[in-house]
Amino acid sequence: MSTVETVAVDPDLPTMTRAEAVEYLTRAGVPCVTQNLIKTATQRGELACYRVGTRNMYSVNDLRACLRGTRIAYGTAGERGGAA
């Protein structure tokens, strides 16, 4: 019998490296996510991260917030070629 307990992870905690963030998003069904995309979004300030030692670490909630920030509602002034 194992003595290891299952612990619910706080989605605000920075638990993922860049590679793990890509894997998480890919498994969640987000297409075309690469480590370079994560790196660029971080450098542009579009994706928040935590600096832990020499690594950037990401939380589930920060990844979700970044995705929400890239959502385009078609039929609005933000649509390419649409009327304002």
pTM, full prediction: 0.75
pLDDT at 27: 95
**What does the buried/exposed string (b/e) look like for 10-48 if buried means 16 or more CB atoms within 10 Å of the residue's CB?**
eeeebbbbbeebbebbeeeeeeebeeeebeebbeeeebb
Give the chain's residues under pLDDT 70.
1-4, 76-84
In this prediction, residue 23 carries a pLDDT of 96
